[in-house]
Amino acid sequence: MRISIIIPTYNEEDNIERLVTDLLRYGGNSLAEIIVADAPSKDRTRELAQQAGALVVVSPKPGRACQMNAGARAAKGDILYFVHADVRVHPDYVQDIRQALTEGYQLGCYRYQFDADKPPILKFNAYCTRFDRIWCRGGDQTLFIPKTTFEELGGYREDHCVMEDYEFILRARRRYKFKIIPKDVIVSARKYDHNSYFRVNLANTVVFLGYFSGVKTEKLVRLYKSIIQTEKYGVQLKR
């Protein structure tokens, strides 16, 4: 098993070097490569990623779906592992992915905890990620999948400016077993630092309910941006 790790980035100079270093240290000989799929960024993200040992590809279009598909096309490994730049991966990620695949799962993710002491209500958000419900999922939890399975499913939908992770997981689960690894990755709470708990969860709820009610993703992006700031924590949402 050889893993290609794909990291979609936009202005992540504060996080990317640490993440690439951790992935290399924990991955060992099982790593095929670490691919940073950039938006492109306006800061030193690409330079720092390359210095740390990652391969950088620049997506032809912005947006996480396009970036992750670009990274997948460049991948040489037989397993794809999608990781957001502000996540701290679990040291056992290679063994955990291998075990899940051995058990017959074709894709899966981790649970998560937040990276700092925050309002107690955030612990509830994190606690919910152990449950097998679509509203408990998201890209922050990382996602592993064999490359052949990813290609068979057609990758992420590039017309989705938001909710690309949810749509992909729902589509994949109609055909394949999904594993929630009973360990935690550490997720940044930075968007709560720039926006209140209420505003972040209001934005998430509006987008989630709007998406499943059939609202076009372009309108959901405008709604999301009208509620919270995004540029300050490494997200580039297409209009």
pTM of the full structure? 0.92
- 121 pLDDT more than 90: no
Backbone angles phi, psi at 57, to 5 degrees: -120, 145
CATH 3.90.550.10, domain 3-192, yes or no:
yes
Average pLDDT over residues 105-121: 86
pLDDT at 189: 86
Q: Give tens-digit pLDDT for 126-176.
A: 999 999 999 889 889 999 999 999 999 999 999 998 999 999 999 999 999
Mean pLDDT computed over every residue of the chain: 92
Q: Taking the domains of the chain in order of start, what are their residue ranges?
A: 3-192
Phi-psi region of 85 (alpha: psi -120 to 50; beta: other; left: phi over 0): alpha
Q: Give tens-digit pLDDT for 9-21.
A: 999 999 999 999 9
Q: Kindly report the three-state secondary structure assignment for every residue of the chain.
A: CCEEEEEEECCCCCCHHHHHHHHHHHHHHHEEEEEEEECCCCCCHHHHHHHHCCEEEECCCCCHHHHHHHHHHHCCCCEEEECCCCCECCCCHHHHHHHHHHCCCCEEEEEEEECCCCCCHHHHHHHHHHCCCHHHCCHHHCEEEEHHHHHHHCCCCCCCCCCHHHHHHHHHHCCCCEEEEEEEEEECCHHHHHCCHHHHHHHHHHHHHHHHCCCCHHHHHHHHHHHCCCHHHCCCCCC
pLDDT at 158: 95
- 232 pLDDT more than 60: no
pLDDT at 233: 45
- Answer whether 6's CB lies under 8 Å from 80's CB: yes
- 215 pLDDT more than 60: yes
Q: Tell me the pLDDT band of 238, cut-offs 50, 70 and 90.
A: very low
Note the maximum CA span of the chain.
Answer: 45
